[in-house]
Structure 1
C-alpha cells in the first residue's frame, strides 16, 4: 500500500510546488478541539460529525506541515472550508477515507481535492458526467477506475475553481484530457459563459490511487 509520505512526495513532485497532504481511513469519531467548529456544526448525524472532525483533523495536519499553527477551520456559506489567511486548501472524503491538501498563496492560487471509492460509475451516469468528446476519446479505458476517473477529476477541478470565481460548474462545462503515463490531467472550461480561473480556462492536476480508491488534485499556481 502507498504510504502517506509517498503520496505527499508524489503530489509535490508532480505539481512542482510545495503542497502538503494528510489523509488516512476514516476512524472512530474524534472530538473537535475548537468550540467554534462544534457550534457551527450543530446537531448533525454521527456520520456527518465523524466526517467533519476527521476532515478538519487532516486539514490542520496539512497546515502543520506548512508551519501553520492549529486554528479553527469554519465553513463558507456554500460549505467550503474557510482557510486561514495566506493559505489555500481542500478537504475531501469518501465512504471510508478522508484527506486534505494545503499550500501557501505565495505559490499556490487554488487547490481542489477529491477522494472517491472504487465503486464503478453507473452506465446511466456516463452521458451526464462525460462530454461527447471525452466519451469518444475513452481515455479512461486503460485505467481500472474506468469513466469514474473523469468524475473524480471534475470534482477536484470544481473545488479548485469555485472559491475564486463564485461560479458553479456542471460536468458538461469541463472537458478533461488524461495523460496516463504521467498520471496528470488538463481540464478545460469549455463553457464560454463561465468565468475564467485566474485568467485561464485550463486547470491542471494529477490523479493517483489512494488506498482502495482514487484521488485527484487540481491546482492553479502563480507564474514564476
Structure 2
C-alpha cells in the first residue's frame, strides 16, 4: 500500500467517524512485521489490519457498539474495542462505508450486510480480516502467543497422527508446533461455523501441515457440505497467525 493510498484511507475513515460526532485517531501500521505477515496469509480479496498496543481508545465506536461495551467485562473491554478498530480499518481498506459490528447469540461478530470477516486477539495483539461476501464465502483468523502448548491441552485437541507430528516436530522448523496446531483448529472453527452454524470439536478437524509453503489442509470428520479446508500460517516474532479463506465456489 503506497503512502497516498494510506493517506486517502485514513482521511476517509476519519471523515466517516467525525460525521457522527466521534474522533478516530488512526495509525494504519502497514509497515510492521506483524502486518506484513498477516497480509501475506490472505488473497488480495481480503483486507486485514492488526494492532499491537495496550492502550484503550473507545472514542471511535459507533453508538450501537458503545451500548454493547457496557455489558462487556473489564477484562474483555480491550479485546472488544481493539478488535472493532482493526475491523473498521480493514473495512476502510476495502473502500466500504463504516458500519457498526454487532454481536450474535454466541458473542460472535455480526458483520454488516455483504461482508464476511474474522477477529482475533491475544496478549495485547488484535487483528481482523474482512472481505466482500460476493468473493469470499468465509474467513477464519486466529492469533496465539508463540509459546509451548500444555501437554494436557495437546492431548485433548489432537488425534494420534497430529500428536505424533507435534512430538516429532519440536525444536525443528517450528518452535512450538503444538500451539500452531491449536491455532489452526481455532481458525478452522471460525471459518467452518460461519457457514454451517454448527459445532465442530477439536478432533472433528484433522490438520496436516505443509511446512515447505506454510500451508495446512483440514479434513472435517463430520457429515457436512464442507469436507476439506485449506489454510495458511505465519509467525511474526512472538505471535503465531493462522488463516483460512474459503472462496465462493
Superposition TM-score, scaled by structure 2 size? 0.80
Match of residue 57 from structure 1: 85
- Looking at structure 2, the residues matched to 149 and 156 of structure 1 have their Cα atoms a distance apart, in angstroms, of 11
Structure 2 gaps of 5+ residues are 1-30
Partners of 1:5 and 1:123 in 2: CA distance: 31
Q: Which residue of the other structure, out of 47, 50, 71, is the alignment partner of 2:75? A: 47
Structure 1 residue 200 displacement after superposition: 2.5
Residues 80-119 of structure 1: matches in 2 within 5 Å?
80-119=108-147
Report the alpha carbon displacement of residue 104 of structure 1 after superposing the two structures with TM: 1.0
Matches within 5 A, 1:19-168: 19-31=46-58, 32-138=60-166, 140-141=169-170, 142-168=173-199
Give the corresponding residue for 1:212.
238
Distance 1:80 1:43 in 2: 15
**Which range moves more in the overlay, 178-187 or 45-54?**
45-54
The Cα shift of 1:4 comes to 5.0
Q: Which runs of 5+ in 1 are unaligned?
A: none
Are 1:186 and 1:202, in contact at CA under 8 Å, matched by a contact in 2? yes
TM-score (norm 1): 0.89
CA deviations over 1:58-85 (Å, ceiling 9, x no partner): 0011111111111110001111111111
CA contact (8 A) 1:4 1:22 kept: no
* CA drift at 1:48: 1.3
Q: CA RMSD in A?
A: 1.9
- Deviation for aligned residue 1:9: 4.3
Report the CA distance shift for 1:147/1:37 in structure 2 as closer, same or farther (over 3 A): same
Is the 2:39–2:48 contact (alpha carbons within 8 Å) kept by the matching residues of 1? Answer: no
Shift of 1:39: 1.0
C-alpha separation in 1, matches of 2:80 and 2:169: 31
User: Rg: which structure is higher?
Assistant: 2
Determine the C-alpha separation between the residues in 1 that align with 2:182 and 2:132. 27
Equivalent residues, number = 215
In 1, the alpha carbon distance for the partners of 2:97 and 2:126 equals 21
Query: Do the aligned residues in 2 keep the contact of 1:187 with 1:203 (CA within 8 Å)?
Result: yes
